[in-house]
Every structure is written in structure tokens, then in C-alpha cells.
Amino acid sequence: MTAGAPTTAPAATAAGAGGRVLDTSGLRIGFGGSEVVSGVDLRVERGEVVGLIGESGCGKSSVALAAMGLLGPGASVGADRLEACGTDLLSSGPRALESLRGDRVAMVFQEPMTSLNPCMRIGAQVAEVLRIHGRANRQEARDRAVELLHAVEIPSPERRARQFPHELSGGMRQRVVIAIAMAGNPQLLLADEPTTALDVTVQAEILHLLRSLQQEHGMGMLLISHDLGVITAMCDRVQVMYAGQVVESGTTGQVLTAPRHPYTRALLAAVPRMRDADGGRLTAIRGQLTDDDRRRPGCRFASRCPSVAEACTAPQPLREVGAGRTSRCWREPEKETTTKGDGDE
């Protein structure tokens, strides 16, 4: 397949901002009375892998579901902007979202069995996507499905296409899910913990596959993970989330080797390393995230932060602390020279 934009998506390039395939600003998501995402800005360009790091309950998966228009009626979604491949997700109806999903925007979840139909042959599940989006007739779809299984490095794809999901290992199933995701030649791939259920050797293979598909097709990719090792291996840029907010962003190298927010620093210090000499104690983060933290007007990490101070009770905006780097902590000096603005004191 070619990396060129599919002809069915002329709006994608017309949407401007170069090859921006995901563009959200001020994204807020609530369930019932509680807000789980509080004003997240997130941009993914074509050909780039952006990582979203965070622990349970930080809202990272909700962000991905919102980007697919997959949050149910129980969720309230608001944003200044929420666009995927040039389509405004907030104003689009169900029809428009359906033609977007599985086509220009695709998603891979943690557990492949939740994405696969256990009663349907694998080849048919891949072909189905092509049929639904009107990309192929029955025979073409069948042939193309085998090609896609081959592209995700499934050995003897003709034979595998006739098998059912339960006949495959976990790693092979995830390859099938990736083949389904790639069927529409997407411009944006959302991968939510795609290797968390897999063993390390299989994880390494799947990540390698995702990276090479992403580069070959020039896709934009949003990779969501709690695993800082996975993020390091895969991402160009990262955003760290805590309690529904982005607390830090920058290039992967910057954020994971020279973190600027106390939460990122604490998270890195809490990881036991295989390559460390067997050492003393880990630096744990005290306490746990509570609902009160989310309602706090000041820094939401304050109750667990090792360097908490009086000033932390004031609202903390996301500050620009360097070129392309932000941190939501008052201790970080604001970048001295800003390109825009009046250049006042």
C-alpha cells in the first residue's frame, strides 16, 4: 500500500495546519458529576508518535476515546477544538464519525480479544473493514485481507485467515487487530496500552511492527501507556498526565531524562530498573490520587508532592519552560524570551 492520502479524505489536507491529524484544545470530559479530563491540549502531526503517560485514573484513555468520538452518551465532552484528520468530532453526526473510524482514524486496544469477534474467521474480520468502507468488493477484500495479515508479519497468512481468534497466541491476535486498524490506511492510529497484556519478548516484536508501519505509512500515532520504557522506545514527544491534566510535555528525551515536573520526576524514580545495581529503597510516591485532588484549585499533585509549599495552593497554569517544553509547576521558571507577546518585564 502507498503512504499517499486516500482519495476519500480530501478534507484532511484542506483542514490546514500542515499534516495535523489530531488537534484538541481545552478538552474537558466528565462522567456524571465528576470531571476526569480538565482542559487537555494535544496535537499529533503526520509521521509523528506522541506518547501520553500516566497512571490509572489520570484520564489518558478518555482522551483517546474522545479522539475517536467513542465516548458514550453518559459522558459530557467539551472542547475549544476537537478535530481528527480535519473532521470536527464535536459537531459531526454518527454517520460522519462512522466513516472516519476504522478508515482515516483507527485504534488498537490493550486486550485483542475485546476487539476480535470470537465466532468469525480472522480473514473475514479484516475484510469486513474494507467492505464497510466501500474500499473493495468481496473477492478483492478477501485478497487484501491476506495481504494485510502478511504486512503485519503473520506467518502463512492464507492459512491463518481461515482460523478463529482462539487458535492464535496473544501476540498473533494483536497483530490481527493491527491488520484491521491498517486496513483503512489510517492517517491517525490511536494505540491504548497495545502491549500491556503481552510478554516482554512479544511486546518488543509488536512495538517494532507498530513503529515500522507508522514510518512506512507516515501515520500520526498517539500511544497511551503507563510503561515509561515503552514510551521511551516509541515516542517522539510525550505528554504526562496527572488527575485529568497535562503536567508536563516535551520531547521524549527531554521529559524522561531531564523531567521538569515533580510528578514526572517521582514517577521515574519509582521504577525499579533492571540495569541498576541491586539497590536500596525505591523512592515511592506517598499516598494516592483521591477525588479531592481533582477538585483542588491549586496543584493537583500537591498532596503527594515531596516538595510541596505554600505557593502550590494557587492555580497552576501549564507554563512554557523551554522550546516545546511545558510544566505545570510554579517552581519552573518561565521561558525568558517568548516569541509572541509584548516583551514586557
Partner 1 sequence: MNETPVEVRTDGDTRPPLLELAGVGHTFGHGPGRSGVRAVDDVSLTLGRGETVGLVGESGCGKSTLGRIATRLYRPTQGAVRFEGRDMTHRPDGTDLKAFRRAVQMVFQDPNSSLNPRLPVGASIEEPLRARRVPRADRRDRLARVLEEVGLDRTAAVRYPHEFSGGQRQRLALARALAPQPAVIVLDEPTSALDVSIQAQILNLLQDIQQQDRIAYLFISHNLGVVRHLSSRVAVMYLGSIVELAPSRRLFEAPQHPYSRALLSSVLEPGDSSGTGGRIELKGELPSPTDVPAGCPFSSRCWLADDRCRAERPALVEQAPGHLTACHKPGEAG
Task: Please give the residue ranges that form the binding site for partner 1 (CB under 8 A).
Answer: 55-56, 169-172, 199-205, 207-208, 211, 226-234, 253, 256-257, 266-268, 270-286, 288, 304
Q: Which of 10, 191, 173 is nearest to 109 (CA)?
A: 191
Report which residue type is found at 224.
I
Indicate the residue among 124 and 233 with the shorter CB distance to partner 1. Answer: 233
Indicate the residue among 282 and 323 with the shorter CB distance to partner 1. Answer: 282
Q: How far is the CB of 324 from partner 1 (least distance, A)?
A: 18
Q: How far is the CB of 100 from partner 1 (least distance, A)?
A: 31
Q: How far is the CB of 237 from partner 1 (least distance, A)?
A: 14
Indicate the residue among 22 and 267 with the shorter CB distance to partner 1. Answer: 267
Q: How far is the CB of 175 from partner 1 (least distance, A)?
A: 11
Indicate the residue among 43 and 175 with the shorter CB distance to partner 1. Answer: 175
d(CA 128, CA 134): 10
d(CA 261, CA 265): 6
Q: How far is the CB of 276 from partner 1 (least distance, A)?
A: 7
Take residue 67 and report the three cell numbers written for it. 479522539
Indicate the residue among 76 and 215 with the shorter CB distance to partner 1. Answer: 215
Q: What are phi and psi of 342, to 5 degrees?
A: -95, -5
DSSP 30-62: EETTEEEEEEEEEEEETT-EEEEE--TTSSHHH
DSSP 132-143: HTTS--HHHHHH
Indicate the residue among 24 and 225 with the shorter CB distance to partner 1. Answer: 225
Question: What is the per-residue burial (b if ≥16 Cβ within 10 Å, else e) of 128-142?
Answer: bbbbbbebbeeeebb
Indicate the residue among 92 and 196 with the shorter CB distance to partner 1. Answer: 196
Q: How far is the CB of 102 from partner 1 (least distance, A)?
A: 28
Residues 31-36: contacts with CB under 8 Å, at least 24 apart: 31/74, 31/75, 31/76, 32/74, 34/291, 34/294, 35/244, 35/294, 36/62, 36/244, 36/294
Q: Which of 69, 82, 66 is nearest to 29 (CA)?
A: 66
Contact 307, 264 (CB under 8 A): no
Q: How far is the CB of 27 from partner 1 (least distance, A)?
A: 23
Contact 195, 173 (CB under 8 A): no
Q: How far is the CB of 208 from partner 1 (least distance, A)?
A: 5
Q: How far is the CB of 81 from partner 1 (least distance, A)?
A: 31
Indicate the residue among 229 and 322 with the shorter CB distance to partner 1. Answer: 229
Q: Which of 69, 82, 22, 1 is nearest to 220 (CA)?
A: 22
Indicate the residue among 218 and 229 with the shorter CB distance to partner 1. Answer: 229
